[in-house]
Amino acid sequence: MNFDHEPRGYDFLRDNRLNKSTAFTADERTRYGLKGLLPHRVFPQEGQQIRVMENLRRKESDIERYIFLCALQDRNERLFYKTVISHIEEVMPLLYTPTVGQACKEFSHIFRRATGFYITPDDRGEIRSMLDNWPQDDIRVIVVTDGERILGLGDLGANGMGIPIGKLALYVACAGIQPHYCFPVMLDVGTNNDELREDPLYLGYPHTRIDGQAYMDLVDEFITAVQDKFPKALIQFEDFLTPRAISLLDHYRDLVLCFNDDIQGTAAVALAGLFAASRISGVKLTDQRIMFVGAGSAATGIGELIVSALVEEGLEQKDARKHIWFVDSQGLVVANRENLAEHKIPFAHEYQELNFIEAIQSVVPHVLIGVSGRGGAFTREVIQMMAASHERPTIFALSNPTSKSECTAEQAYEWSEGRAIFASGSPFSSVEYGGKTFRPGQGNNAYIFPGVGLGVVAAGASRVTDTMFMAAAKTLAAQVSDDDLTVGSLYPPLKDIRGVSLQIAKAVVEVVQKEELATEVIPENLEEYISGLMYDPSY
């Protein structure tokens, strides 16, 4: 290890990026003043992982496991990431969906140690100087939220900080972004959640949300400050309310290096799933009718990327849009509805007004995509109707956390007599039905955004474009093997996610080069170059 200065003794053990705990060798213990501060035995990192997992599994609830993992990250960052990477299928659901939803709800009650950066309306005029308080100067990835639409849980205010923290942990674990490049930010503009504001332990700005020009001025000051302090930083907008998410992306996407994961990342992972599902059903994407239940930013983001894919397959855009249908809380989205939200207008058909069940009967979709945040929206009747119309109906229940999933994997398989092609936003265990084992794939954005981020950082991209997400979707779909499809999984195993992210990063860099958006000199051996940038937590 090389350091600008050599800390000693407890300072070394208290620095989570330097600490190796019992893995320090005898020579290191002498050099760093650690003799007498550690038990005798030198214990390698592999052995430390065994102890970590033993203690993790001893916890009685997932929220306790989440707290345990956060504490490990605070004291030994490399052991934390080594454990996550080595046990990704077991640990990722604890760090992110579904457990992160509960962690956000309880954030102010389980708070242990300050992590991340908080900006409130009281900080107007000072954001740039505040950024100097952050200990790292070379930030490459920022995840920012205002906490207004956390997963399917709604307005959680400052408690939503669990989302940027969790997403950035996945950037590191799943794609090898260097931890010191990461910066979680909460735009704490208040909350309209009365229960939170009345909670005596709530840690956030205890006022109703600011809105209008005051809100935009605060966001703009933050974006401007970031451009000055961290000019190479990729900004990921996360869990903003639909109208806000769309307007922020539209406003900033051509001005700064940014994207919205709920809109673009979700779209890419869903499209990849549709590409894979077509290999099972044998029905080309251009021959499918796709119905969404829910018409927020995630839904229309998926819809737009599907349209782009259909256009690439040779359809005119107006014809491509005819394949996409939306059902919201008022029923089928149709052109003659009054006060139709702007983001829904491109998908509004000249059609009669129908409820959800009537829409399925009339449109007869091949694919049903749930992004409604309504747990149980795909009832037995819905699944059976889909199965009655198609030999292999595609059912995506993408809402998070698990309690908001439109149906479970078991329900999808049972109600379709084992014929459904199923994927979900939250993880589900394998299902035994009709003498066959199904391993449902999780359409987790972690398959997309870490690799996209790695590619953007590797190329020093000046902008993020939708073409990059199309490339990411195609690359992800190509990583799905025939063996995966045989057990009903539309995504590769999570244990392979770092390799998947590497391939996505490579595809993104190629797009960056083609679109002349690179600011870094990129060697010819692209895969070796990107792989060399990836963080290795081993010691």
pLDDT at 180: 97
Instruction: Find all residues with CB under 8 Å of 485, minimum gap 6, and list them.
Output: 276, 279, 280
Residues with catalytic annotation? 96, 167
CB proximity list for 404: less than 8 A, separation 6 or greater: 151, 152, 153, 373, 374, 375
Rounded distance, CA 31 to CA 141, Å? 34
| DSSP alpha helix (H) spans, 292-353 | 297-312, 317-321
- Per DSSP, the three-state class of 135 is coil
Contact 425, 399 (CB under 8 A): yes
Q: Are 361 and 260 in contact (CB under 8 A)?
A: no
C-alpha distances (whole Å) from 39 to each of 25, 36, 43, 229, 247 are: 12, 7, 10, 43, 56
Within a 10 A sphere around the Cβ of 374, how many other Cβ atoms? 16
Q: Please spell the DSSP secondary structure of 426-458, one letter per residue.
A: S----EEETTEEE-PEE--GGGTHHHHHHHHHH
Residue 180 CB-density burial (10 A; 0-12 exposed, 13-18 middle, 19+ buried): middle
Which structural domains are found in the chain, ordered by start? 1-43 (1.20.1370.30), 99-256 (3.40.50.10380), 264-420 (3.40.50.720)
pLDDT score, position 152: 84
Tell me how many degrees the CA angle 445-451-454 measures, rounded to the nearest 5: 135
Cβ atoms of 216 and 148 closer than 8 Å: no
**Which pTM does this prediction carry?**
0.94
Separation of alpha carbons 311 and 467, rounded Å:
13
Contact in structure between 406 and 377 (CB atoms under 8 Å): yes
What is the bridge-based pairing of β-strands 431-433 and 436-438?
Answer: antiparallel
Write out the two tokens for 244. 């806000």
CA distance 448 to 157: 26
Cβ atoms of 529 and 522 closer than 8 Å: yes
Which pLDDT does position 7 carry in this prediction? 82
Tokens representing residue 412 in the block: 């999808």
Q: What confidence tens digit (pLDDT) does each residue in 426-479 have?
A: 999 999 999 999 999 999 999 999 999 999 999 999 999 999 999 999 999 999
Instruction: Please list the ranges in the chain whose pLDDT falls under 70.
Output: 1-6
The pLDDT value recorded for residue 5 is 59
| pLDDT at residue 1, as a whole number | 46
CB 416 within 8 A of CB 393: yes
